[in-house]
Structure 1
């Protein structure tokens, strides 16, 4: 069915958008385009400073707090992020339109969820504009991330309801206990991601400091409390995941979707922790920051999918009502 395929495409593009956004932050390209939705007043941004007006620094000085220096690489990184955002919006809207044809008379909740996805994507786009206009204002970036997580959850639930028509999951013992555990893991993992955005904001402050900004080896020492809370919280995250994975492996068969997603979660948690360790001890390499963030969001997405799979009968029943 077209809606189910579009739903999967939507989730993929959202994660690509998160990755692109992480690259924008880690490379300092957030202000690569000082205006929105155009970039330096153009639909297609320039590739060389010669394509800009001679007084471009004066034109955009206020928006960039006087820090105006054209950098083609940063401009095109930010522009690519916007293109992926536009593509994501188009696919989400297409999924919504498709849901009307397939589910309006069958399961209107899927239609409502798809429409909510469109609204949330649009709201996050507007918030993204405010992030640019506010010069990456602290707190706004965290809200931007929280809204992205909400979009993922809403669309995953809509997709799960659609796929519940054709997917049969394995039987799970102690389902209620594991469900409660998964809810806690989701809450803690989401909190850890938001703590991570606070660390990222602390890094931005360090970078802005002319004494420390160019010396990556000293960044960790300057991050203060947000980093140490984030690092210590990772121990709790690891412990909860070990216990969750043990419970899932113990109470489900070793074949089927739940087992597959559990194994994927194991791999993601291991790689995510390793990337965190490398960043902590090797000067926070720019290329690892977006990977670390994307892995964290994929992990909470899988946790949410596992929560839905554990209660798939309920989803199916709603679809048939």
Structure 2
């Protein structure tokens, strides 16, 4: 019986580590996607799943068919001359995406051991696998439609849902292995503020994808060399995004205040609150850098990734806030941190 329990514990330990690695990898996919967008490499590979008809992309124009300009000219968005850097940026993005898919599949397989103990872990892993598969297919449609704006936005929304599904699975599987401090008073108001903060943050991210589309439109009109004119040339989408950020900030401050007010001990929830404070400040600063320093390419993926990390923290905090209902038949208030 002891041997059986030991084997089960090892499997669950492996699952938790794999869940954490998968979440980190998904964030790397988002970073890679942000780099693709910031460098204008979305059509660096004009076909899918191959790249210029090859499984290993070319590194120079001589490796392409003599008439490659006629074949791929329209899809290259006006860049008739082959650009190896953009091709490989897009290709690496695809590789990271494929690797994340394999990890999610491995997570689904290892979650089978939870079927008897907690079926939510298995079904959450199954949902993650379905969502990432759907998003992979959607990525192919983004290429096929030459970066259709509505598909780019939907692609981002699905990526956020994948993050939420994986964080749910990870949080449930870590139940009983982390210290979650008790919350004093009624949690109803805290839950509502945190939930609305998360919803508004998702909307803000999606508006941000529209701002990026507006930047692409400006680039087509005035070109890459006029980067200092991009912000001044943007339409209403940028101003909605900028104004909406003030609302997001107000909700964050209210959520942080409520979490601080109802938390009397130091634990994981307190640590997440501290991280949320720091990341919101950095996110605001990165937005200011984009607006006032001619949209530097390096700041764009940082701004996007921070937004998704903040969403992940909000969602995890919401789960931990309701740990008494989320984690069944497991101790959640531990005297110390267990080895995970």
Q: Settle same-fold status: TM greater than 0.5.
A: yes
Deviations 1:28-59 (A, max 9, x none): 11111111111111111111111112111122
Preserved contact between residue 35 and residue 41 of structure 1 (Cα < 8 Å): yes
CA spacing shift, 1:63–1:313, aligned 2, 3 Å: same
The equivalent residue for 1:114 is 125
The equivalent residue for 1:86 is 98
Secondary structure of the structure 1 residue equivalent to 2:170: helix
Q: 2-side partners of 1:199 and 1:59: how far apart?
A: 30
> Once the 2 structures are TM-superposed, how far is the Cα of residue 68 of structure 1 from its aligned partner?
3.0
Of residues 262, 269, 294, the one that matches 2:280 is 269
Matched, 1:154 2:165: yes
Q: Which moved more, 1:102-111 or 1:27-36?
A: 102-111
Q: 2-side partners of 1:272 and 1:172: how far apart?
A: 28
Q: Mapping of 1:139-178 within 5 angstroms?
A: 139-173=150-184, 174-178=186-190
The equivalent residue for 2:263 is 252
> Once the 2 structures are TM-superposed, how far is the Cα of residue 67 of structure 1 from its aligned partner?
4.4
> Once the 2 structures are TM-superposed, how far is the Cα of residue 313 of structure 1 from its aligned partner?
1.2
The equivalent residue for 1:241 is 252
Of residues 9, 26, 31, the one that matches 1:14 is 26
The equivalent residue for 1:197 is 209
Of residues 266, 271, 285, the one that matches 2:296 is 285
> Once the 2 structures are TM-superposed, how far is the Cα of residue 168 of structure 1 from its aligned partner?
3.4
Pairwise CA RMSD: 1.5
The equivalent residue for 1:103 is 114
Preserved contact between residue 206 and residue 213 of structure 1 (Cα < 8 Å): no
Aligned residues: 318
Q: 1-side partners of 2:49 and 2:176: how far apart?
A: 40
Of residues 10, 13, 25, the one that matches 2:37 is 25
> Once the 2 structures are TM-superposed, how far is the Cα of residue 299 of structure 1 from its aligned partner?
0.1
> Once the 2 structures are TM-superposed, how far is the Cα of residue 318 of structure 1 from its aligned partner?
7.6
Matched, 1:40 2:52: yes
The equivalent residue for 2:7 is none
Of residues 50, 53, 72, the one that matches 1:60 is 72
Preserved contact between residue 256 and residue 277 of structure 2 (Cα < 8 Å): yes
Preserved contact between residue 44 and residue 76 of structure 2 (Cα < 8 Å): no
Secondary structure of the structure 1 residue equivalent to 2:129: helix
Q: 2-side partners of 1:135 and 1:13: how far apart?
A: 26
Preserved contact between residue 181 and residue 265 of structure 2 (Cα < 8 Å): no
The equivalent residue for 2:4 is none
Deviations 1:211-263 (A, max 9, x none): 35531121112211110010011111111111211111121135110110000
The equivalent residue for 1:218 is 229
The equivalent residue for 2:62 is 50
Secondary structure of the structure 1 residue equivalent to 2:225: coil
> Once the 2 structures are TM-superposed, how far is the Cα of residue 166 of structure 1 from its aligned partner?
2.0
Of residues 214, 218, 223, the one that matches 1:206 is 218
Q: 2-side partners of 1:68 and 1:222: how far apart?
A: 26
CA spacing shift, 1:318–1:49, aligned 2, 3 Å: farther
